[in-house]
Structure 1
Amino acid sequence: MSPHRSTRSATAEDLLTRLGRLTAQAREGAELQQARVELAEALQREILPASLPGVPGLRTAARYAPARHGLSIGGDWYDGFLLPGGALGFSIGDVEGHDVEAAAFMGQVRIAVRAVAASAADPGEVLSRANDLLLSVDCDLFATCTFLRFDPVTWEVQSARAGHVPGVWATIDGEHGIVRDEGGLPLGMLPGAQYPVTRRRLAAAGSFVLVTDGVVEGPSFPIDAGLERVAEVVRAHADADPGELAAAVMKVADSTGHQDDAAVLVLRHEAVRGGTG
């Protein structure tokens, strides 16, 4: 681990400690409101990753936007990291609520998924073990989450969902769709929950996109309509730079009239290596 990453990890741990302290101590008036605003800024800067991993043929990008009204701090997150053996892990999720407690729990969920992913065999096991770990924490909150494992040798994506919004995909030749795979319960709800795994080989060049419900659901849009709009955006920008695609998808949130925080995670991939799959 580089000195830079070690410093960021230490800073993130300090931030989580501060979140916990404020949860216990600060519960009134303008002081709490100001603390939440400051922590929202720190949340983006320290808990969310400064960069995402990639490999030749796979580029990644993400965007996060805080809630428009009320408390600025929320529980949406995204993450990406190297797994043992050279695979890449990616997660995105949404914690119930918008408060200091939600932000603190978000940090716990993100860390739990990272820790379990280092030794778990597949995304379903990652979510199942993370679920049981979070249930051991004295907290009444729950979180939705999608976890992906990308294998740079087979060019296969394995994914599992814990009550989270489906993913969206498109290829540069115009095919696109919503991943209507079977999911499981949100994390932190039921001991022993199981999470089916979906496997998809990235045979054609294109993009795979994950979002939180703040992107696709709001007063103007039911979630299915929002997902369809995201699918159209991803189709139209399937060969774009991943940062440009992430920004275009985030604009969907403006059309839904959302008030929630929102996150987008993009995997922009070339065709599968060694064949068409």
Structure 2
Amino acid sequence: MIPPDVRKITTVGEVARARTFVAHLATSLGAPEVERARFLTALTAQLRRSLGQGGAQLTITVQQTGPDRSVRVRTVVQPATRAPGQASPWHRALSCPGPMTQDSHLPAHPDDTAPAEALLAADEETAAVLQRLDESENLVRLHREELHQTNQGVLALHAELDAAALTQQKLLDAERAARGETEKARRLLTFLANASAVVTASLDHEDIVRRLPDLLIPEYASHVDVWLFDEDEKTAGNDLHSAAAVAAARTDRPQHAGPHPGDLPGIDDRPPSALSPDRPLLCIPLTVRRSLGVLTLTAPGDHFDADTSVMLLELARRIAIALDNALRYEHHRDTAEELQRAQLTDLPAADGLHLAARYLPATRGLNIGGDWYDAFFQPDGSLLAVIGDVTGHGLRAAVIMGQLRTALRAYAIEETSPAQILTRLHRMLCHQQPNLYATAMIARFRPDDLQVTWAAAGHPPAVVRAPGGAVRVLDDKPGVMLGVPIPFEYEDHTTEIEPGSTLVLYTDGLVERRAQGIDTGIELLAQTLAGLHEPDLKDLDASAESVLKPLVHESERDDDVCLLLCRTAPFPRS
């Protein structure tokens, strides 16, 4: 280690020489200009302050600090006189790259160095510092510009992010609204489809009207009123209905009546109704080919929604179609049933023979078919009991049934044998109505004769109940169906029956079921007849009801049912 340099500082000149010495030492050891300038400035300021305090002692030490031969210049300024409580000596160090060897020593004291040289050296140091300062200022200016540009970019980025966030929020709101509208539309369409299925499932207009409140309350209406009228009634007005309903009936346009305009698409606005001053009314005419009535809905809340009102208009149109179909069906059904019953015969009164008949139309279709029964006297006094069934349903089957009934009566004037009558009917049907078939059975009763002569054309067998309750089936093989395109001669069969016996003729609608077949139905008929009490048979009409009850269910029937009971007197006439 180089021995330290100690010197007293009492004058400005000594301060200048000490600074010049330290500057020369730091320069020789390769200290950087800026660090060297800072070090020298701090040392000079401290030495100048010590002059006002009576001088100081400056100690300069150079030490090697590491294996890389770097050195440190350390200066200690200690006041010449130290007062009690005075601070510790001032010291500062400067790191220099070196090098420093064992033979190194402090440079000569610059006591004889020209002041100009020291001044120039100081200027060089100042120039180096100023150059570094300029470089730093340029660098700071560049960084400031970059920072400003960065700030502008950040601000622009924030603006873009805010705009993007706002756009995204708008898109999310639009998507949420679209999803809400889609869900609402899906819900309305689902309800419309389900409600349409309900109202079109029935062909009873009263049943359709009864179902509407359950469909619409409480979600789409708080109250539902259906005003059905005849064609002349819609222009007459009605005090029981709102003015909006009357206007809808007269103008055939939907009407909205409420405290505030509804502004609903395709619907006229009117003042609030006296029947519902607080809640709006929506009155929709039920129109298809003609005006059927008006559907009036009381709003479930304080207004009708526009989309919901559009759905309600479409539902009203479908309700009108369903009501029109039901009313037309009911009209055709009533007409057909009246026509069918007009074809049935009032049963004649015969000595020694009681007759009772029942006809039940099918509950599906137009309630018109080809089943019929008949009973009439022949010229020789015999009574013919007839039952028949034309295949199929509808108006054509009823017309053919009427033709067969009329032809049978005509042939019975000329022919006394049931088989001969059926044979002529068969020829007539094959000739006039090809591809249409029928079944029939004819039973002939003669006065004072216990034998019954009968013939059948593809018809279910008759059943006989004896007075004691024994039941037998006349299961002789019947002939072919009437109208089958082959030549055929029918045969007569003779059956002896006791006084008080009941001969039962029927069509297949009484005994035939899809899941069971006809044999099971005939067996049930026989059991039912056997179970009747003898006193009950005195009222043959009541007996007919007793026979129908276990065989014909209250549910819908696919086929007509005809039943003809023929009961002989308990004792022969005297």
Tell me the TM-score normalised to structure 2 length. Answer: 0.40
Please give the residue correspondences for 1:67-216 in structure 2 after superposition, counting only pairs within 5 Å: 67-216=362-511
Render the CA deviation track for 1:7-40: whole Å, top value 9, x for unaligned: xxxxxxxxxxxxxxxxxxxxxx969856641432
1:209 deviates by 0.2
Distance in 1, matches of 2:474 and 2:487, equals 25
Q: 1:110: Cα distance to partner?
A: 1.0
- Offset at 1:153? 2.8
Looking at structure 2, the residues matched to 147 and 254 of structure 1 have their Cα atoms a distance apart, in angstroms, of: 27
SS at match of 2:558: coil
In structure 1, the residue matched to 2:543 is 245
Distance change in 2, residues 1:93/1:32 (3 Å)? farther
User: How many residue pairs are counted as aligned between the two chains?
Assistant: 246
Provide the rounded CA distance (Å) in 1 between the counterparts of 2:504 and 2:404: 21
Determine if contact 2:499/2:572 at 8 Å carries over to the other structure: no
User: Which amino acid in structure 2 is aligned with residue 173 of structure 1?
Assistant: G
Is 2:357–2:541's contact at 8 Å kept on the other side of the alignment?
Answer: yes
SS at match of 1:116: helix
| Separation (CA, whole Å) in 2 of partners of 1:88 and 1:256 | 36
Counterpart Cα distance in 1 of 2:363 and 2:516: 16
> In the alignment, is residue 266 of structure 1 matched against residue 565 of structure 2?
yes
1:272 offset after TM fit, Å?
A: 6.0
Aligned to 1:63: 358
Equivalent residue for 2:531? 236
SS at structure 2 position matched to 1:136: helix
Would you say the 8 A contact 1:36–1:73 is kept in 2? no
Does the 8 Å contact 1:155/1:272 carry over to 2? no
Deviation at 1:102, TM superposition (A): 0.6
SS across alignment from 1:149: strand
User: CA separation in 1, counterparts of 2:554 and 2:342?
Assistant: 29
Deviates more, 1:39-48 or 1:258-267: 39-48
Match of 1:48 among 319, 328, 344: 344
Query: In structure 2, what is the Cα distance between the partners aligned to 1:197 and 1:169?
Result: 17
TM-superposed deviation, 1:109? 1.1
Q: Which moved more, 1:166-175 or 1:238-247?
A: 238-247
Secondary structure (helix, strand or coil) at the match of 1:131 reads: helix
Asked if the contact 1:216–1:225 (Cα under 8 Å) also holds between the matched residues in 2, the reply is yes
Unmatched runs of 5 consecutive residues or more in structure 1: 1-28
Relative to 1, partners in 2 of residues 1:89 and 1:38: Cα closer, same or farther, differing over 3 Å?
Answer: same
Which whole-Å deviations, capped at 9, do the CAs of 1:116-173 have from their partners, x for residues lacking one? 1111131111100111122221453111000111111323211000000110111121
For the structure 1 residues 159 and 266, does the alpha-carbon distance in structure 2 shift closer, same or farther, using more than 3 Å as the test?
same
Contact 1:206 1:238 in 2 (8 A): no
Verify the 8 A CA contact 2:467 2:498 in the aligned structure 1: no
Q: Please, what TM-score do these two structures have when normalized by structure 1?
A: 0.81
Contact (CA 8 Å) 1:202, 1:271: kept in 2 or not? no
Q: Corresponding residue for 1:12?
A: none
The CA distance in 2 between the partners of 1:146 and 1:258, in whole Å, is: 23
Q: How far apart, in 2, do the equivalents of 1:274 and 1:70 lie?
A: 47
CA RMSD for the aligned pairs? 2.4
Contact 1:116 1:126 (C-alpha < 8 Å) held by counterparts: yes
Change (3 A) 1:259 1:238: farther
Contact 1:182 1:196 in 2 (8 A): no
**1:272–1:158 CA distance, 2 compared to 1 (3 A):** farther
* Separation in 1, partners of 2:394, 2:362: 11
Aligned twin of 1:7: none
Distance 2:433 2:464 in 1: 37
Corresponding residue SS for 2:552: helix
Supply the AA of the counterpart residue of 2:418: P
CA distance in 1, matches of 2:372, 2:471: 25
* Alignment-mate amino acid for residue 525 of structure 2: V
Distance 2:488 2:331 in 1: 36
Structure whose CA Rg is larger:
2
- How far off is 1:60 after superposition? 0.2
The whole-number CA distance in structure 1 between the counterparts of 2:387 and 2:508 is 11
- 1:274–1:48 distance in 2 versus 1, CA, 3 Å: closer
Q: Secondary structure at the match of 1:200?
A: strand
Contact in 1 for aligned 2:511/2:521 (Cα 8 Å): yes
- Listed as ranges, the matches of 1:215-226 within 5 Å are 215-226=510-521
Alignment CA distance shift 1:147-1:238 (3 Å) = farther
Quick one: structure 1 residues 70 and 44, their matched pair in 2 at CA, closer, same or farther if it must change by over 3 Å?
Answer: closer
Residue 189 to residue 39, structure 1, CA distance change in 2 (3 Å): farther
Q: Residues 106 and 39 of structure 1: is their aligned pair in 2 closer, same or farther, counting only changes over 3 Å?
A: farther
Structure 2 Cα separation of the partners of residues 274 and 261 of structure 1: 36
Change (3 A) 1:177 1:255: farther
Give the Cα–Cα distance (whole angstroms) in 2 for the partners of residues 35 and 145 of structure 1. Answer: 30
SS in 2 for 1:165: coil
Shift in Å at residue 274 of structure 1? 7.4
Question: Structure 2 unaligned runs (5+)?
Answer: 1-323
Aligned twin of 1:24: none
Does the 8 Å CA contact 1:168/1:177 hold for their aligned counterparts? yes
Q: CA 1:255–1:193 in structure 2 vs 1: closer, same or farther (change >3 Å)?
A: farther
C-alpha distance in 1, partners of 2:394/2:542? 30
Change (3 A) 1:32 1:76: farther
**Partners in 2 of 1:233 and 1:135 — Cα distance?**
37
For 2:564, give the aligned amino acid. L
Question: For 1:254 and 1:156, how far apart are their aligned partners in 2?
Answer: 34
For 1:54 and 1:79, the matched residues in 2 are separated by: 13
